[in-house]
Structure 1
Amino acid sequence: MRGGLGGFYIFLACVALGAAAISGVNSVSRSINQSITAEGQSILGADVRFELNNRVANDDELAFLNSLGDLTIGSGLRSMARMLDASDQTLVELRSVDKAYPMFGELETEPALETTKAFAEIDGVFGAIVAPIMLDRLNVEVGDQLLLGDIAVEIRATILAEPDALSEGFGFAPRMMVSDKALDAAGLIRVGSLVEHSYRIDMKGEPTLSDLQNVRELAKTEHPDAGWSVRTSRNAAPALTANIERFSQFLTLVGLTVLVVGGVGVANAVRAFLDSKRGVIATFKCLGASARFVFIIYLVQVFLIALIGVAIGIVVGAAIPFVTSSLLSTALSITVSASVYLDVLLLAAAFGLISALTFAVLPLGNAGNVPATALFRQWSLGQTGWPKPIYSILAIALASLLSWLVISTSDNDQITIIFLGAVVFSFVVLRFVSILVQWLAKRSPQVRSTPLRLALGNIHRPGALTSSVVMSLGLGLTLLVALALIDGNLRRELAGNLPERAPNFFFVDIQSDEIEAFDRVIADVAPDGKLVKVPMLRGRILELNGTDIREMTIPPEARWVTRGDRGITYSPIQPEGSVLSEGEWWDKDYAGEPLVSFTAEEAGEIGLEIGDTVTVNVLGRTITARIANFRVVEWESLSINFVMVFSPNTFAGAPHSWLATLLDGEASAQKEGEVLNAVTRNFPTVTSVRVKDALEIAERLVGQIALAIRAAAAVALIASVLVLAGALAAGNRARRHDSVVLKTLGATRGTLIKAFSFEYVILGLSTAIFALASGGIAAWYVTSQIMSLPYSFLPDVAIATLIAALVLTVGIGLIGTWRVLGQKAAPILREL
């Protein structure tokens, strides 16, 4: 160790990079989740929040809620805000609040106003506060008036901070806030309107977790059929928390990929180091040292160096939450408090040390095979073959320990096991690729070009760099190719194919007494358009086959079906855009027990079969229906379809609204504007959603997520580049001898540069072809099997991958080779 760390800098960088990625990601995730828990009351705006969809609490329910503590009531829905002259309009996320809002946190506005003044009715006009982006969208200012439903409202201020915004969920439109009285006057809440009513309760004092759980149980016992969802301050933003945990798990797997890729660098560094110490090892052997003794000496040294790398990594990882806390606080609108999380750092340290030792054991086991004759002649550890079985068993045991640790600390065992299996499979395939490249190079026909002949010989000779180069670049490039193809297909589907076949508009909350007039308006303004309309209600699944949904274990991919309210409909005929996969559709005049059609994919994920029962709560009424058939639905077409379609007799006489889509493939932006103006002018309470606007928002979100994922994947590629540089540096000693001998025999520097360039080009192309094949398969599986989207291979990704592989291998290789070619011949020749 006193001799310095020469040859181990790549080793240190690989271990430190992986440990920093794992500890940093999990520390940030922990700090966000703890901050959400600590500010649970402010984020939720209450100790307990009850939510009802499409109906208000009845007198008994309201009395129960008031008995729990102080109460504030609000509503949320999407609506249209219009200019007074009807020249423009925009979709808004509308929220109403009462005088008691906010009970926790502070509503900040510009200019600063008291809540009562911001929403007060002055001279017959109610006040509103809006998101700043809305001023730009409609080209209005504070003090201007807008039409909201049946009334005009005055913009009194813009929203700087909405204390409970995180608990309200993601919105596709700018926020507008008004008073509960203004919402009533606007006439937007009508029969069947899609509206969420929230009841926030301040229980006074500091309720314990047990107190909050008791409220949940009491609500379930006293009002079992209410159909409301209950959330407490200990789980204020479950969707955000779940997404953070999923993303941190993904990034942790990326960090493990870095460690695995870096493991190749560890093995290369250990092998090169031991090769430089072969004389020392042979001396030990001459003095009677056993192979075990030699193994332990260098195992301790490798462990100490790995410990240094891990220490550097976890110090960097521990600092990441402190560096990002202000940025995260701004982005999430909460105070993210950073801290040092010892358990997270210890876990990252364990990952780093175990992975380093796993890859170091085999080359260390070979160290004991150095014969004493190495003192008297040149000898390379690359020729020693496999070590004794005990060292292979030890390497397998360490790899198994690492796998167990990864699985035991993961939130999703299935994904983690698939990841580990993919890593093992990738190593096997990469090894096969390197053997295949060497086999083809060895059996290639004789070529007249001296540089090319030398390149082919370098690829298959003993101690060649082929395996190291293919291994080091293969995993990193594969990950980048897979992510780039997934991102490209998703973007193409959103921006390219979908708008061609998707509707131009969705129209929500059309009342039953308006539907005929709505038909006439659309027929006048868009005579060539296709209008599809269906009745729509909202319902929550309570039971499956008589079992409470809360007591069931639903697979993660299907939880969205059973979480919260779902849009449902009824129909005498099979909906367009769906195909029956099992069962029969009911007759048009069917009048028996309630029946329901379920989407096949979701039913399969949940484990439902024909004849099973589904119990839903609709408008406070509990209905049990039997599954009559399964449908295959093409969701990506954005046509109207539902997870559950009921027989018409199920909701006979139930009040409801209508949902409609308008498809006009030839409509210009101007024509769409005319449609939007006509609908908004004639039906001010109908919400119009322009599909292209929603797709643009979705594409922007996909782009932001993809950018974050690419940045994470780039860390794996950086590790690959480090390993590649280490592998090429480790081979430079042999190349120095080769270049000196060849130059002595008459080879020019140009000839050697061409030979090395050909070698690196062949290795780079081989690795790129593997990365394209394996990354393409992974992307196809995720896109077509998990996302259920059309998949196609993207040539631009293939070209970019080929260029990246060639630039990295040839560029880094030639940088090292140039130094090799500059060596003086005499010192090298004297050693031969």
Structure 2
Amino acid sequence: MASIILGIAAVVSIQLFSQNLTDNIQRQSKSLMGADFIIDSDNVPNERVQAIIDSLQPDAKEVNFVSMIAFPKNRGTKLVSVHAIDGAFPFYGKMETQPSTASANYLDNDGALVDATLMLQYKIKPGDSIKVGELTLPISGTLKSMPGSNAISTSVAPIVVIPFQLVDQTELLQFGSRKEYQFFFNQPDADLEALENRVEPMLDKLDADLDTHTSTSRRLGRRYENVAVFLNLAAFIALLLGCVGIASSVNIYIKEKLQAIAVLKCMGASRKQSFLIFLIQIAGIGLIGGLIGSAIGVAILELLPYLLQEFLPFDVEISISAQPLLIGVLLGVFMSVLFALLPLLRTWYVSPLEVLRMSSSKPAASRKARYGVIGLILIFLFGFSFWLLREALFALSFIGGVIVTFAILAGIAIGTMSVIKKYFPRKASFTTRQSLLNLFRPNNQTVVLLVAIGLGTFLISTLYFTKDILLDKAELGQTEEKANLITLDVQPDQLEAVVATNADNQLPIIDNIPLVTMRMHSIKGKLVNSIRTDTTTQIRRWILNHEFRTTYRDHLIPSEELVAGNWIPKQENRNDIKISISDNLAEDAQIGVGDAVTFNVQGVLMKTTVGSIRKVDWANLQLNFSIVFPTGVMEDAPQFNVLTTYAATPEQSAGLQQDLVRDFPNVSIIDLRQVYTVVEDILDKVSWVINFMAFFSILTGIIVLIGSVSTSKYQRIKESVLLRTLGAKNKQILKITALEYLFLGILGSLVGILLALVSSFLLALIVFKEPFLPSGVPFLVFLPGISVLVLAIGLSNIRSVLNSSPLEVLRKAV
């Protein structure tokens, strides 16, 4: 019952949370967006887009962009997301501020609302001032939250809200600046489906986009669907471990009841009756376990919103529905019966003559019946996995992985018993020989214990190793050869002065990268506008609408590898320009070496041919590009520059940022060390969630372990009493038991960790494509910890033998 309770609790809590999340997204979709629908564009809307917007009569508008800001009070600087708003946005939900009146007054007072964490970090309060570009304005209030934001996104770029009419005074929206214009509509009676069908195709052709609150709801639902799938799998693994406990416990229970079953059959009980007696017992235990597990699942549900609040853009309102509770109860009964069937089959084949026989041989169950039950178990596991994953191949892969892991652990356990039996150390001490004999004696628990210990250790160790891979992948190599400060949006007339400012701060320029913005005009001779209307095209839509930031240079960089074609370092002939593209762009645009692509470069058409394809390591924290031109053809195009440098200390970084923000308000500075800190913080939060879910699996594994060890308690007591009767001392009995369980604990946890090492190595090699340096935590914590736990449980079983006389214990056992 304890084995099934935790698995059911995990499944019920996750099912309820997923259902609540879906309901909340649908119910709060307007509050998440703040409007009924939005039209957005990466540039100032052209006449045709503006005509469509005006015809729909927008109720508010916004331009948002990323920029450096400064706090004159303490000379602090920070990269933020500036939102310049005009109108009474949001129409749904609310902008939470301190004081509460600031959200309504900042527009009239020409003030700013600043992210709450940023205010605390820089020790700023309402009434102080903030400098955004060339504009200095008062802080009207602290911004706690606004529609669409969450803790993760604001930790990367905190939000600052200013009035729309002040944007021009900042002088930040210059050539090359990344910005987004949004127009908000408060039209609750609008037919959003008709709007999507009629207006969205027109806007797509004009490089604009329409978002409705219903489409946002669908998108968010898909995003959190993956989270729900992971959580469900974690719960399912906990349930599987519980099933191992069920099968183990029933197996030992039925072994002990075989003579009683034979007596029942001597008294006239039929096969069906004796089978149903125990089946009903197991079903009753499953029902009680399902009820208790469902109740615990409801309690856990209250914790999950707090656990995942960092990743959600809204507060989840919890409600309890009957369906997951009913599923939990039925699952408890069904899985208890299903996984108890194999050992229960033995009751069917018990002969009444077993009363008279002293043989320890087991009644043989029908091979056809055994295979039928195993088939039922596999069908159920596949069906349940498919229900969770919604993908047959994924479900098969998951079940295959579970079966392989179980098979490896069981194979090692059986192999260990065979090796010990074959190469038994007959000259070893009595206590050592007796402890090793216990590993393959009748009613031994070696296979079940090693599977339970190994699987639990495997799961948690894999999580730890995977976390290390992710952190290593994000880690910055802090060397002078690798830049950790990036200065963006440097205009041509500012370049010399910015370089001089770096020199004044004794920070030499590592890279001076020119950037040219452009869009694709045609692909392989077919106009992009025609491709948009082609429903059969395999070209990804982002290619058609994307504004590419390209560069030109005569060499490859360390994060690139040439995979096709020839690298052209320099070219003077502008009639047949050979470009290099990334492998992902080649795949998404369905183009290869020799294909023609025409670009629109600030109104000028430029014909190019794909000369080479590069494999780009986008995870490398340096400036990578999808499209690279050779030198000699783009130098006269409208462009701006990105400069990189290396600051050895935070003080050097802060000094440069202060000077640049003071003299060049339009430039933005990214400190990669801060980015790494944010990434590490996010990964820590993700790891905490993963470890919390793994806790169910580990705790279930421990309960299975306790149950499996404790099930044969009375068999162990009889053996220990006989040893005492024959003259064995308490110290010898203690040592025999300790050695047996210590061996099981060490072997099980070690095999689990080694399997985790293999799986993590494959993840690093195939998925993350990174070198794997394993953490020492599983070896230093889990290996000794689980071994000691197994030892403690085993020793607790013989406490009554050590504290009582042999006669007293024998009387209790009888």
Normalising by structure 1, we get a TM-score of: 0.88
Question: Following the alignment from structure 2 to structure 1, what is the Cα–Cα distance between the partners of residues 758 and 537?
Answer: 31
Contact 1:451 1:751 in 2 (8 A): yes
C-alpha distance after superposition, 1:187-221 (max 9, x if no partner): 1111110112222222x2344xxx32322232344
Contact 2:721 2:809 in 1 (8 A): yes
Aligned partner of 1:406 among 385, 388, 402:
385
In structure 2, the residue matched to 1:397 is 376
Aligned partner of 1:795 among 767, 772, 776:
776
Amino acid at match of 1:435: I
In structure 1, the residue matched to 2:31 is 42
In structure 1, the residue matched to 2:746 is 765
How far has the Cα of 1:528 moved from its partner?
4.1
How far has the Cα of 1:184 moved from its partner?
1.7
In structure 2, the residue matched to 1:634 is 617
How far has the Cα of 1:322 moved from its partner?
5.1
Normalising by structure 2, we get a TM-score of: 0.90
Contact 1:90 1:138 in 2 (8 A): no
How far has the Cα of 1:688 moved from its partner?
0.6
Aligned partner of 2:157 among 167, 173, 188:
173
Structure-to-structure mapping, 1:234-273, within 5 angstroms: 234-236=214-216, 240-273=220-253
Contact 1:143 1:155 in 2 (8 A): yes
How far has the Cα of 1:798 moved from its partner?
1.8
Structure-to-structure mapping, 1:317-356, within 5 angstroms: 317-321=297-301, 332=312, 334-349=314-329, 351-356=331-336
Aligned partner of 1:580 among 540, 550, 562:
562
Structure-to-structure mapping, 1:232-311, within 5 angstroms: 232-236=212-216, 240-311=220-291
Amino acid at match of 1:428: A
Structure 2, unaligned runs of 5 or more: none
746 and 532 in structure 1: CA distance in 2 versus 1, 3 angstrom threshold: farther
Amino acid at match of 1:105: G
Greater mean alpha carbon deviation, residues 567-576 or residues 701-710: 567-576
Contact 1:510 1:658 in 2 (8 A): yes
How far has the Cα of 1:706 moved from its partner?
0.3
Contact 1:542 1:549 in 2 (8 A): no
Is the aligned partner of 1:696 residue 2:684?
no
How far has the Cα of 1:789 moved from its partner?
2.7
Give the secondary-structure state (helix, strand or coil) at the position aligned to 1:82. strand
How far has the Cα of 1:476 moved from its partner?
1.0
Is the aligned partner of 1:722 residue 2:703?
yes
In structure 1, the residue matched to 2:729 is 748
How far has the Cα of 1:610 moved from its partner?
4.4
C-alpha distance after superposition, 1:66-104 (max 9, x if no partner): 322433211222211213378331222211101232232
In structure 1, the residue matched to 2:47 is 59
Give the secondary-structure state (helix, strand or coil) at the position aligned to 2:87. coil
Contact 1:572 1:586 in 2 (8 A): no
Is the aligned partner of 1:226 residue 2:214?
no
In structure 2, the residue matched to 1:807 is 788
Question: Following the alignment from structure 2 to structure 1, what is the Cα–Cα distance between the partners of residues 390 and 418?
Answer: 43
In structure 2, the residue matched to 1:475 is 455
Greater mean alpha carbon deviation, residues 300-309 or residues 766-775: 300-309
In structure 2, the residue matched to 1:109 is 97
Question: Following the alignment from structure 1 to structure 2, what is the Cα–Cα distance between the partners of residues 606 and 716?
Answer: 44
Question: Following the alignment from structure 1 to structure 2, what is the Cα–Cα distance between the partners of residues 810 and 269?
Answer: 19
Aligned partner of 1:707 among 688, 695, 698:
688
Is the aligned partner of 1:32 residue 2:21?
yes
Is the aligned partner of 1:90 residue 2:90?
no
Amino acid at match of 1:77: F
In structure 2, the residue matched to 1:200 is 184
Contact 1:167 1:237 in 2 (8 A): no
Greater mean alpha carbon deviation, residues 784-793 or residues 55-64: 784-793
Structure 1, unaligned runs of 5 or more: 1-11
How far has the Cα of 1:28 moved from its partner?
1.1
In structure 2, the residue matched to 1:662 is 645
In structure 2, the residue matched to 1:429 is 408
Amino acid at match of 1:91: L
Question: Following the alignment from structure 1 to structure 2, what is the Cα–Cα distance between the partners of residues 574 and 384?
Answer: 76
Give the secondary-structure state (helix, strand or coil) at the position aligned to 1:513. helix
Give the secondary-structure state (helix, strand or coil) at the position aligned to 1:56. coil
Give the secondary-structure state (helix, strand or coil) at the position aligned to 2:82. strand
Amino acid at match of 1:583: G
Question: Following the alignment from structure 1 to structure 2, what is the Cα–Cα distance between the partners of residues 588 and 225?
Answer: 35
C-alpha distance after superposition, 1:166-203 (max 9, x if no partner): 5995551322110112222101111110112222222x
Greater mean alpha carbon deviation, residues 187-196 or residues 366-375: 366-375
Greater mean alpha carbon deviation, residues 137-146 or residues 592-601: 592-601
How far has the Cα of 1:259 moved from its partner?
1.2
How far has the Cα of 1:731 moved from its partner?
1.6
How far has the Cα of 1:615 moved from its partner?
9.0
Question: Following the alignment from structure 1 to structure 2, what is the Cα–Cα distance between the partners of residues 287 and 90?
Answer: 86
Contact 2:73 2:128 in 1 (8 A): no
Question: Following the alignment from structure 2 to structure 1, what is the Cα–Cα distance between the partners of residues 446 and 307?
Answer: 44
Is the aligned partner of 1:137 residue 2:121?
yes
Give the secondary-structure state (helix, strand or coil) at the position aligned to 2:774. coil
Contact 1:505 1:688 in 2 (8 A): yes
Question: Following the alignment from structure 1 to structure 2, what is the Cα–Cα distance between the partners of residues 194 and 765?
Answer: 57
52 and 726 in structure 1: CA distance in 2 versus 1, 3 angstrom threshold: same
760 and 596 in structure 1: CA distance in 2 versus 1, 3 angstrom threshold: farther
In structure 2, the residue matched to 1:23 is 12
Question: Following the alignment from structure 1 to structure 2, what is the Cα–Cα distance between the partners of residues 824 and 560?
Answer: 81
Amino acid at match of 2:374: A
C-alpha distance after superposition, 1:388-407 (max 9, x if no partner): 42133123223213312321
Aligned partner of 1:511 among 491, 516, 532:
491
C-alpha distance after superposition, 1:708-751 (max 9, x if no partner): 10111111010110111111111212111210111111111111
Greater mean alpha carbon deviation, residues 463-472 or residues 814-823: 814-823
483 and 332 in structure 1: CA distance in 2 versus 1, 3 angstrom threshold: closer
How far has the Cα of 1:687 moved from its partner?
0.7
How far has the Cα of 1:300 moved from its partner?
3.3
How far has the Cα of 1:595 moved from its partner?
6.1
Contact 2:508 2:645 in 1 (8 A): no
In structure 2, the residue matched to 1:571 is 552
Give the secondary-structure state (helix, strand or coil) at the position aligned to 2:317. coil
Question: Following the alignment from structure 1 to structure 2, what is the Cα–Cα distance between the partners of residues 625 and 584?
Answer: 15
Greater mean alpha carbon deviation, residues 62-71 or residues 701-710: 62-71
Question: Following the alignment from structure 1 to structure 2, what is the Cα–Cα distance between the partners of residues 257 and 564?
Answer: 43
624 and 785 in structure 1: CA distance in 2 versus 1, 3 angstrom threshold: farther
Give the secondary-structure state (helix, strand or coil) at the position aligned to 1:637. coil
Contact 1:142 1:156 in 2 (8 A): yes
In structure 1, the residue matched to 2:417 is 438
How far has the Cα of 1:825 moved from its partner?
2.9
564 and 272 in structure 1: CA distance in 2 versus 1, 3 angstrom threshold: farther
Give the secondary-structure state (helix, strand or coil) at the position aligned to 1:445. coil
In structure 2, the residue matched to 1:8 is none
Is the aligned partner of 1:643 residue 2:622?
no
Give the secondary-structure state (helix, strand or coil) at the position aligned to 1:236. helix
Amino acid at match of 1:462: P
In structure 2, the residue matched to 1:7 is none
Greater mean alpha carbon deviation, residues 738-747 or residues 412-421: 412-421
How far has the Cα of 1:36 moved from its partner?
1.9
Greater mean alpha carbon deviation, residues 262-271 or residues 408-417: 408-417
395 and 223 in structure 1: CA distance in 2 versus 1, 3 angstrom threshold: same
How far has the Cα of 1:607 moved from its partner?
7.8
In structure 1, the residue matched to 2:112 is 128
Contact 2:597 2:610 in 1 (8 A): yes
Amino acid at match of 2:646: L
Contact 1:322 1:338 in 2 (8 A): yes
How far has the Cα of 1:686 moved from its partner?
0.5
Question: Following the alignment from structure 2 to structure 1, what is the Cα–Cα distance between the partners of residues 97 and 82?
Answer: 16
Question: Following the alignment from structure 2 to structure 1, what is the Cα–Cα distance between the partners of residues 175 and 788?
Answer: 64
